[in-house]
Amino acid sequence: MEHHWDAKRLTELPGRYRATLINKVAGYKTAHLLGTKAADGSENLALFNSVVHIGANPPYLGFILRPTTVARHTYDNIMATGVYTLNAVSAPYHKNAHCTSGKFPKGVSEFGACGFSPVYREGFAAPFVAESRVQFGLTFVEEHLLCNDTRLVVGRVEHLFVPEAALGPDGDVDLEVLESVAIGGLDSYYTGTKLGRYGYYRPGEALEELP
């Protein structure tokens, strides 16, 4: 037994049900806190589950921003300063991270309101999250307006901080050591268990298992 919705029936679902269904059924997504600083010096922190790898040489990351038809402090700050940070959420802080998704008034820092500590590193103008074990400092590169008025925002990685204990000799990163968190939909949080790691597959050859 399975449920089936065609495009018409999906559009006829109650809005909240449809949003929950489509967000959750797409699977696990990474959890990152995006830190910015406004032109007036006020700090902002927001939870995103849409960070994606764009390229490695040079290193680019992207994220999806919802329509700017309402106030988007994160977007305004990035456009004003050109810099921002992405900070991976670890399991001990997932509840704090969820709280940053609330609608705080402009000028109220989610760092203090949600139990996080801003830290400035390497002279970078945007705040990192001290409680995060993986931290990126990025400069804004470009944005692309998408079909539903969301935006793909792309940044270049200027700084990356990873604990030595989680870093392998070949550049592999142990996400279990980091206790990295994934988000299902908009409200459920998970930690992952590694099933395996494999080399590049060449048809006709045995699959190589990596440590």
Whether 5 is in a domain gets the answer no
The average pLDDT across 155-166 equals: 98
- pLDDT reading at 129 higher than 80: yes
Whether 121 is in a domain gets the answer yes
- pLDDT reading at 204 higher than 80: yes
Whether 89 is in a domain gets the answer yes
pTM of the model: 0.94
The CA radius of gyration of the chain, in Å to the nearest whole number, is 19
Domain of 150, CATH number, reads 2.30.110.10
pLDDT of residue 107: 83
Whether 114 is in a domain gets the answer yes
Tens digits of residue pLDDT in 27-49: 999 999 999 999 999 999 999 99
pLDDT class of 70 with cuts at 50, 70, 90: confident
- What is the domain range of residue 39? 29-191
pLDDT class of 72 with cuts at 50, 70, 90: confident
Whether 3 is in a domain gets the answer no
Whether 198 is in a domain gets the answer no
Domain count, the chain: 1
CB-based contact 78:152 (threshold 8 Å): no
The average pLDDT across 184-207 equals: 95
